[in-house]
Amino acid sequence: MVNKFGEFLYRLRKEKGLSQVQLAEMLGVTYRAVSKWETGEAYPETSQLAPLADIFGVTVDELLRGEKNASSALGQEGGGMEKAKTLKPMNKKETVGIAAAVGVILLAALFLVTCAINGVNYGIYLPVTITFVAAAVFILVYTSMLREIRSAELNKAASQKGKKLALVLSLGIVAIILTVIPLVVMTARHISYKIYLPVFLATLIIAVPIIIMSGTMWGNFQKEYSLPQDEEAVSKNVKNLEDVVTSVIMLSATALFLLLGFLKGLWHPSWVVFPIGGIACGISSVIIRGLRNKE
């Protein structure tokens, strides 16, 4: 590298922890183009200077001169003045999606209560209710992930990649929820556990790898493109504690549901552990964040 621009770009890329391939994807160019910029064989087009500057948190002038202004360097040495990315306000489409998801959940609750008090077989209304809830969860999760992608202002290629990952992960979560349906239906019809248990495990075998793989890929995508997170000022430790507590609650609820079902055959009344678990998760999150704010 013999030019200040190329040396500066190389240094910025390394500080950001990006490979030439990753930077190229963010800009919608080939990695060979990035390599040529850094070696001085070529320069980016004018239209690519602003996105480059935004990625590395510098001005176009600093990028072209191959060095940061003294005031910028001083600000970074003093603790950094680069403003963290935040989520953009929800647009109309996202707001409608969230409202629709809440409406579906309320309809599911109404349907569940109506069928239960009228003596409808739980093998009929419980699968329908679970399907409603799964649809609402899909809308909530997918809408939230799309908002992160939109807020990061990615190029077309990166945005399309993010949307595909978001779709697969959202469907994986839905698949996990829907695995309970065949279990409920077959137990309601008094089918032997020798049949419904392998079916249940088979659906889990399909759904769990999907959600693990897509979840890992989505996490890497978030880190790679520095997607903005929840705008609430919640420390990483607090967020981790929230995740652990809520995961333990819901895993405990699932374990209790399966134990009551398999050992006692109480699939019908034991589904209440899930809404109770959801409420407990909400309460625990509020308490954990409240204690953090008090500190």
Query: Does some domain include residue 108?
Result: yes
What was the pLDDT predicted at 78? 45
Residues 171 and 281 grouped into a single domain? no
**Whether the model pTM is above 0.85:** no
CA–CA separation, 53 and 66 (whole Å)? 12
Radius of gyration in angstroms for the set of CA atoms belonging to the chain, rounded to a whole number: 25
Q: Clarify whether residues 124 and 198 are in a common domain.
A: yes
More confident residue, 126 or 283: 126
Q: Please give the Cα distance from 111 to 282 (Å, whole number).
A: 23
> In this structure, is residue 25 part of a structural domain?
yes
Residues 295, 292: Cα–Cα separation, whole Å: 5
Q: Which residue has the tokens 């910025």?
A: 12
Please say which residue of 77, 98, 124 terminates a domain.
77
- pLDDT value of residue 279: 60
Give the residue carrying structure tokens 């176009």. 60
Residue 11 lies in a domain: yes
How do residues 130-151 score in pLDDT, each as one tens digit?
899 889 889 988 998 898 888 8
Same domain assignment for residues 145 and 164: yes
Q: Computed from CA positions of residues 16, 21, 22, 28, in that sequence, does the dihedral angle turn out positive or negative?
A: positive
Domain that holds residue 244: 232-295
| Alpha carbons 50 and 52: distance in angstroms, whole number | 5
DSSP calls for 206-247? HHHHHHHHHHHHHHHHHHHTT--B-SS---HHHHHHHHHHHH
What's the mean per-residue pLDDT of the chain?
77
Number of domains in the chain: 3
Q: Is the pLDDT score of 162 beyond 50?
A: yes
pLDDT-based confidence at residue 22 (cuts at 50, 70, 90): confident
pLDDT of 294 above 60: no
- Are 102 and 223 found together in one domain? yes
What would the pLDDT profile of 193-229 be if each residue is shown by its tens digit? Answer: 678 778 778 877 887 888 888 888 888 888 877 787 6
Q: Which of 12, 43, 77 lies at the terminal end of a domain, its last residue?
A: 77
Structural domain contains residue 112: yes
In terms of domains, do 284 and 238 share one? yes
| Residue 73 in this model has a pLDDT that exceeds 70 | no
**pLDDT band at 166; cut points 50, 70, 90:** very high
> Concatenated DSSP letters for the chain?
--SHHHHHHHHHHHHHT--HHHHHHHHTS-HHHHHHHHHTS----HHHHHHHHHHHT--HHHHHHTS--HHHHHHHHTT--PPPPBPPPP-HHHHHHHHHHHHHHHHHHHHHHHHHHTT--HHHHHHHHHHHHHHHHHHHHHHHHHHHHHHHT--HHHHHHHHHHHHHHHHHHHHHHHTHHHHHHHHHTT--HHHHHHHHHHHHHHHHHHHHHHHHHHHHHHHHTT--B-SS---HHHHHHHHHHHHHHHHHHHHHHHHHHHHH--HHHHTTHHHHHHHHHHHHHHHHHHHHHH-
Q: Which two tokens stand for residue 219?
A: 């996490």
Same domain, 118 and 220: yes
Confidence label for 286 from pLDDT (cuts 50, 70 and 90): low
Of the three residues 36, 56, 77, the one that is the final residue of a domain is 77
Cα 66 to Cα 278: distance, rounded to the nearest angstrom: 53
Taking Cα atoms as reference points, which of 261, 273, 269, 135 lies closest to residue 186?
Answer: 261
pLDDT of residue 251: 73
Same structural domain for residues 107 and 59? no
